[in-house]
Structure 1
Amino acid sequence: MRIAVAGGTGTVGHHVVELARERGHDVASLSRAEGVDLVSGRGLDEALQGVDTVIDVSGINSTATKKAVDFFTNASQNLLAAEKKAGVQHQVVLSIVGIDKATSGLYAGKLVQEDIVRHGGVPWTLLRSTQFHEFVPLVVKTASAGPVVLVPKMFTQPVAAREVAEALVSAAEAGPQGRITDLGGPRLEELDGLVRAYLDRTGQRKKVVEVPLPGLMGKAMRSGALIPAPGAAVGRQTFMEWLEASSGTYRQEK
């Protein structure tokens, strides 16, 4: 199968590209670094020539609602238009568990993306997953103010990015299925505890201050609304196992 991976250089995307190739598929990675811009549509028509299935794991590094909505609106519409021109038969999309309960920021953008895909005219499969283990170092990077890390009060069930990639490639191989079973990690955790474990493992002396965020997003984080419902698929690797395996890399990068 010829598979194109939108966002193929990202946290999940590079795993998708690698796994799909390991399974014998012909894979094209779509990213700005590789000459394809989803927002403007540049390079999409050429990149999707001969493609059977698109796996969309594209994203934006912003928590601003307007930026997220604009990105996913433009990217999804351009991708669908190019897919129709190229005769793509299946689009697999990665979304986020609980976005119905937290309709702001990135989650608002993903809701728009889901709606566009559902009504876009290309057969689709949608997988919602929880935050990846890499979410924790991202929080430390973006929420640090000197020696302090301001951590949202949040229940989370983080999952390995590679396991999400496995689910996406399997979905591509299975053909269009609509929304499939949500995927979460193996343990329910509190975000502040994960941040403390990460700081300790990487030798960073920072004080963790837990902050309850306002609005629907903060309420969803605190209430457990971003945790998969009973019956969801469960990943294998815990956060601590991931941290043990990857902390050497993060020590070098911090």
Structure 2
Amino acid sequence: MKIAVAGGTGTAGRLVVEVLRSRGHAPVVLSRGQGVDLLSGSGLDAALAGAEAVVDVSNVTTMRRSVAVDFFERAGRQLLGAAERAGVGHVVTLSIVGIDRVKNPYYAGKLRQEEIVRGGPVPWTVLRATQFHEFAEQLLDGLPGPIATVPMGRVQPVAVREVAEALADLVVAAPQGMAPEIAGPRVESLVDMARRRIAAGGVRRRPVLPLYLPGGMNSGGLLPTGSGPRGTQTFSDWLVEQRAAGTHA
């Protein structure tokens, strides 16, 4: 089965491609490196020719609401338009648990992406996932200064590979709209995750100062609200895996 993967070179996308290929499918990466520009639509029609389904794990790194909304608006419309022209029968989009409960500039873009998918011309499935295990380090990387002020929220982190496997399962099944949310096996304190990530090495050592932010994050807004698939790899397991591999998140 020919399956296009938008954002197939990113953290989740690379694993989606790997899982699909291991299952005997023919994944096609939609990225600028492969001559495809999601924002302009350049190369999309040619890349989607003959594709039966699409997994959208495209992403933009920003904390500006206008940039996030613009990216997901333009990329989403270009991708769905090309998918319709190619006769694609199913689009699966990766989203984030809690984006409708926690105020965040980036989440505004993800909400817009979901709106476009739901109102689009191609049968769809949206999978909301909790934060990846890499989230603590990504957060620390974005915090300058001698002290890391980390929000006091709780998360239920999940392994990227387990999300990739769930996406691979969904894309070959019938479209189902909003799929049950996927999360990791254990609820964690984001502050504790940051401290443990620093202690594991490979990131700059500095004190972590808990930061109270009003809003949904402190009240569990990033946690799943219903039943759904749960991963098996804990954050502790992931830290051990990173140290054993000699790599960092």
Q: What's the TM-score bracket when you normalise by the shorter of the two chains? A: over 0.9
Pairwise CA distance, 1:177: 1.1
The residue aligned with 1:187 is 186
Distance 1:228 1:104 in 2: 17
SS of residue matched to 1:112: helix
Please say if 1:235 is aligned against 2:231: yes
Match for 2:208: what amino acid? Answer: V
The residue aligned with 1:176 is 175
Identical amino acids, percent of aligned pairs: 50
The residue aligned with 1:210 is 210
Q: Deviations over 1:106-152 (max 9, x none)?
A: 1111111111111101000110000101111101111131x321211
Match for 1:64: what amino acid? Answer: R
Pick from 222, 228, 241 the counterpart of residue 245 of structure 1.
Answer: 241
- 1:144-163, aligned counterparts within 5 Å? 144-145=144-145, 147-163=146-162
Distance 2:147 2:142 in 1: 11
The residue aligned with 2:132 is 132
- 1:23-38, aligned counterparts within 5 Å? 23-38=23-38
Distance 1:196 1:104 in 2: 23
Runs of 4+ in 1 over 3 A off after TM superposition: none
Q: Deviations over 1:205-233 (max 9, x none)?
A: 211111123xxxx4111110110013132
Q: Answer whether contact 1:184 1:235 (CA < 8 A) is retained.
A: yes
Please say if 1:3 is aligned against 2:3: yes
Q: Answer whether contact 1:144 1:150 (CA < 8 A) is retained.
A: no
Q: Answer whether contact 1:19 1:166 (CA < 8 A) is retained.
A: yes
Q: Runs of 5+ in structure 2 lacking a partner?
A: none
Q: Answer whether contact 1:52 1:90 (CA < 8 A) is retained.
A: yes
Distance 2:174 2:52 in 1: 10
The residue aligned with 2:216 is 220
Higher helix share: 1
Of the structure 1 ranges 197-206 and 238-247, higher mean CA displacement relative to structure 2 is found in 197-206
Pairwise CA distance, 1:240: 1.0
Match for 1:233: what amino acid? Answer: P
**Alignment CA distance shift 1:96-1:196 (3 Å):** same
Task: Figure out how many residues of one structure are paired with residues of the other and give that number.
Answer: 246
Q: Answer whether contact 2:103 2:215 (CA < 8 A) is retained.
A: no
Distance 1:85 1:232 in 2: 33
Pairwise CA distance, 1:178: 1.0
Q: Answer whether contact 2:103 2:216 (CA < 8 A) is retained.
A: no
- Structure 2 length normalisation: TM-score? 0.95
Distance 2:150 2:39 in 1: 31
Distance 1:53 1:209 in 2: 45
Q: Deviations over 1:164-193 (max 9, x none)?
A: 000000001112111110011111011010
The residue aligned with 2:98 is 98
SS of residue matched to 2:215: helix
The residue aligned with 1:42 is 42
Pairwise CA distance, 1:103: 4.3
Match for 1:220: what amino acid? Answer: G
Match for 1:8: what amino acid? Answer: G
Distance 1:128 1:119 in 2: 17
- Structure 1 length normalisation: TM-score? 0.94
